């Protein structure tokens, strides 16, 4: 398969196929004319990569899983460890975003009836500089 064919088969862009090839997660064969040809195993591998990415695994996580798998070891313990790590990170980001959302709501409420003011020698925007909610 050529780049376009593998992209069409997985309903992704050719740029996505090229990206994973460029970073070494896919290693296509090269023909005598220089074209890259992907094997059915590459389709399987790319489908795995896309599934892992949709679960929040990083490219480095995927590399680690693939290395473990290539050593004929079950990658499942690695996958479990990494997904727990990604889940904790996601929960922290979610909490951070929730706190940001609350600060934004508070700012919106506080600023609703404050007058517009031009910048001065000491301020650029009095709304932001005078905002009292502390970042947690």
pLDDT 10s per residue in the chain (136 long)? 999 999 999 999 999 999 999 999 999 998 888 889 999 999 999 999 999 999 999 999 999 999 999 887 899 999 999 999 999 999 999 999 999 999 999 999 999 999 999 999 988 999 999 887 655 4
pTM of the model: 0.79
Q: Which of 19, 35, 53 is at the close of a domain?
A: 53
- What's the pLDDT score for residue 17? 97
Domain membership of residue 102 as a residue range: 55-136
User: 18-53: buried (b, 16+ CB within 10 Å) or exposed (e) per residue?
Assistant: eebbeeebbebeeeeeeebebeeebbebbeebeebe
The per-residue pLDDT for 105 is 95
Residue 44 and residue 22 share a domain: yes
CATH number at residue 10: 1.10.1660.10
pLDDT at 133: 63
Question: Are 39 and 71 in the same domain?
Answer: no
Q: Among all chains, which residue has been given the structure tokens 């904790």? A: 88
């Amino acid at each position: 398969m050529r780049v376009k064919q593998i992209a069409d088969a997985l309903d992704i862009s050719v740029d996505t196929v090229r990206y994973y090839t460029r970073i070494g997660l896919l290693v296509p064969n090269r023909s005598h004319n220089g074209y890259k040809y992907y094997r059915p195993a590459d389709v399987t591998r790319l489908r795995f990569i896309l599934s892992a990415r949709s679960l929040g695994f990083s490219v480095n996580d995927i590399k680690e899983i693939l290395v473990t798998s290539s050593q004929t070891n079950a990658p499942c313990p690695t996958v479990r460890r990494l997904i727990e790590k990604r889940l904790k990170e996601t929960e922290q980001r979610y909490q951070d975003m929730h706190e940001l959302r609350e600060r934004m709501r508070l700012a919106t409420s506080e600023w609703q009836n404050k007058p517009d003011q031009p910048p001065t020698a000491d301020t650029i925007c009095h709304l932001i500089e005078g905002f009292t909610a502390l970042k947690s």
